Amino acid sequence: MGGYGDVKLLRDDGLRLDGRKLDEMRPVTIEAGILPAADGSAMVTHGLNVAVAAVYGPMEAHPRKIQRQDRAVIDVRYNMAPFSTSDRIRPGFNRRSREISKVTAEALESVVLVERYPRSKIRVEIEILAAEAGTRCAGITAASVALADAGIPMRDLLVGVASGKVEDIVVLDLDKAEDNYGQADLPVGILPNTGEIAFLQMDGDLSPDEYNLAMEYNFKAAAEIHEIMVDALKRRYEGGEN
């Protein structure tokens, strides 16, 4: 939604510029347990996005003023590496990373059983190594797998996925050109087993019908990504016998 002009985003044959169908997702791969120092970790590649998440804890919450007497706090730090885009990103926090850290923490708090660890903190670090639109969704998916890998109790896995609108047509999983020059973006965090939505943001405008179609695409994609997440977690412990 950052650009304007007559940028053509759909081909004459109805496919998108990268050859995908309207409801086709970019390829997703997930690997769990990639960081030996972390209690849980995961790497998600979603198209050209590469997101790494590490989970530490639960641990004593410091400073003590952030402690909650009845539950754990989830401390999320989302960061894009300076080399993750073609324009160098200035290292450190910025408005966007603070916003994404906050919405990610709130989404994860709704799936993690935080009441099991009062007064403690679960630290989630999300590092975007390569960005091509949809990094917050890739980050949420990676964080969810890392939390499960760390043995943190959760109601469900949380899947981040997005749909949007280009040239007045709803499409699933926007790539960089579609994100920059499209008309709307609808990233959501979905609990695939219960069908609940843990977070939802919308940039641009969608009609009710377009919104419903976008959500239909999102749920379909979430089911596909969920299978890949489960497979990644099972693959990590294959050969196990408890």
Q: Does residue number 178 form part of the binding site for other proteins (CB under 8 A)?
A: no
Q: How far apart are CA 179 and CA 217, in angstroms?
A: 16
Q: Of residues 150, 172, 214, 225, which one binds other proteins by CB under 8 A?
A: 150
Stretch that binds other proteins, among 10-18, 114-122, 123-131, 214-222 (CB under 8 A): 114-122
Q: For the window 74-113, what string marks contact with other proteins as x by the rule CB under 8 A?
A: -------------------------------------x-x
Among candidates 152, 139, 135, 126, which has minimal Cα distance to 48? 135
Nearer to other proteins, 47 or 57 (CB): 57
Residue (142 or 148) nearer to other proteins, CB: 148
The binder of other proteins chosen from 17, 34, 59, 89 (CB under 8 A): 59
Quick check: 190 binds other proteins (CB under 8 A)? no
**Which one, 68 or 176, has the nearer CB to other proteins?**
68
* 237/2 Cα distance (integer angstroms): 42
- Helix or strand or coil: residue 154? strand
Of 193, 195, 205, 207, which one interacts with other proteins (CB under 8 A)? 193
Can you tell me the distance from the alpha carbon of 12 to that of 129, in angstroms, rounded to the nearest whole number? 34
Task: DSSP letter for 181, please.
Answer: H
Do the Cβ atoms of 116 and 72 come closer than 8 Å?
Answer: yes
- Cα–Cα distance for residue pair 184/77, rounded to 1 Å: 26
Other Cβ atoms less than 10 A from the Cβ of 162: the count is 25
C-alpha to C-alpha distance for 200 and 140, rounded to whole angstroms: 12
Interface region with other proteins, contact rule CB under 8 A, candidates 42-50, 83-91, 217-225, 227-235 = 227-235
Site residues for other proteins per CB under 8 A: 39-40, 57-60, 69, 72, 111, 113, 117-120, 148-157, 191-194, 229-230, 233-234, 237, 239-242
